[in-house]
Amino acid sequence: MSSFASQLIAWQKRHGRHDLPWQNTRNAYRIWLSEIMLQQTQVATVIPYYRRFLRLFPNLKSLAAARLDDVLALWSGLGYYSRARNMHRAAQEIAIRHQGRFPRDYETVLALPGIGRSTAAAICVFAFGARLAILDGNVKRLFARRFGIGGYAGDAKTAARLWRTAERQLPRRDVESYTQGLMDLGAMVCTRGRPRCDACPVAPECVALRRGSVSRLPAPRPRKALPQRRTQMLVLLHAGQVLLEKRAPSGIWGGMWSLPEVAPNADVPALCAQRYGAEVATRKALPTIAHGFTHFKLDIESQRLGVVRVAPRAAAPGVLWLPLEEALGAAIPAPVRRILAGL
Per residue in 52-77, pLDDT (tens digit) is 999 999 999 999 999 999 999 999 88
Burial bucket for residue 336 (CB in 10 Å: 0-12, 13-18, 19+) = buried
**Could you report the per-residue pLDDT of 284-337, keeping only the tens digit for each?**
999 999 998 888 999 999 999 999 999 876 456 789 999 999 999 888 999 999
**Could you report the per-residue pLDDT of 7-37, keeping only the tens digit for each?**
999 999 999 999 999 999 999 999 999 999 9
Give dist(CA 333, CA 259) in Å, integer. Answer: 10
> Is residue 63 located within the same domain as residue 88?
yes
**Percent of the chain at pLDDT exceeding 70:** 99
Q: Is position 17 within any domain? A: yes
Give dist(CA 324, CA 243) in Å, integer. Answer: 9
> Is residue 181 located within the same domain as residue 285?
no
User: What was the pLDDT predicted at 4?
Assistant: 96
In b/e form, how buried is each residue of 256-281, taking b as 16+ CB within 10 angstroms?
bbbbbebeeeeebeebbbebbbbebe
> Is residue 194 located within the same domain as residue 54?
yes
**Could you report the per-residue pLDDT of 264-275, keeping only the tens digit for each?**
889 999 999 999
Specify the DSSP element, H or E, that contains 230: strand 228-238
> Is residue 185 located within the same domain as residue 77?
yes
3-state helix, strand, coil in the chain (%, to 5): 45, 15, 35
Peptide bond into 312 cis (omega under 30): no
> Is residue 327 located within the same domain as residue 179?
no
Peptide bond into 218 cis (omega under 30): yes
**Could you report the per-residue pLDDT of 120-156, keeping only the tens digit for each?**
999 999 999 999 999 999 999 999 999 999 999 989 9
Q: Does position 229 have pLDDT exceeding 90, yes or no?
A: yes
- Region 185-214: what's the mean pLDDT? 96
Give dist(CA 206, CA 54) in Å, integer. Answer: 40
Q: Is position 222 within any domain? A: no
One-character DSSP codes across 10-28: HHHHHHS----TT-S---H
The single residue of 35, 176, 205, 301 carrying the catalytic annotation is: 35
Q: Is 35 a catalytic residue?
A: yes
User: What was the pLDDT predicted at 313?
Assistant: 60
Q: Find the domain containing 298 and state its range.
A: 228-341
> Is residue 284 located within the same domain as residue 203?
no
> Is residue 164 located within the same domain as residue 240?
no
> Is residue 125 located within the same domain as residue 201?
yes
CB of 205 closer than 8 Å to CB of 2: no
Taking only Cα atoms into account, the Rg of the chain, rounded to an integer number of angstroms, comes to 24
One-character DSSP codes across 127-145: HH--------HHHHHHHHH
pTM: 0.82
- Say how many domains are in the chain: 2
Give dist(CA 20, CA 27) in Å, integer. Answer: 14
Q: Is position 325 within any domain? A: yes
> Is residue 52 located within the same domain as residue 30?
yes
Give the confidence band of 79 by pLDDT, cuts at 50, 70, 90: confident
User: What was the pLDDT predicted at 245?
Assistant: 94
> Is residue 139 located within the same domain as residue 11?
yes
Give the confidence band of 209 by pLDDT, cuts at 50, 70, 90: very high
> Is residue 114 located within the same domain as residue 46?
yes
User: What was the pLDDT predicted at 315?
Assistant: 52
Q: Does position 159 have pLDDT exceeding 70, yes or no?
A: yes
> Is residue 238 located within the same domain as residue 184?
no
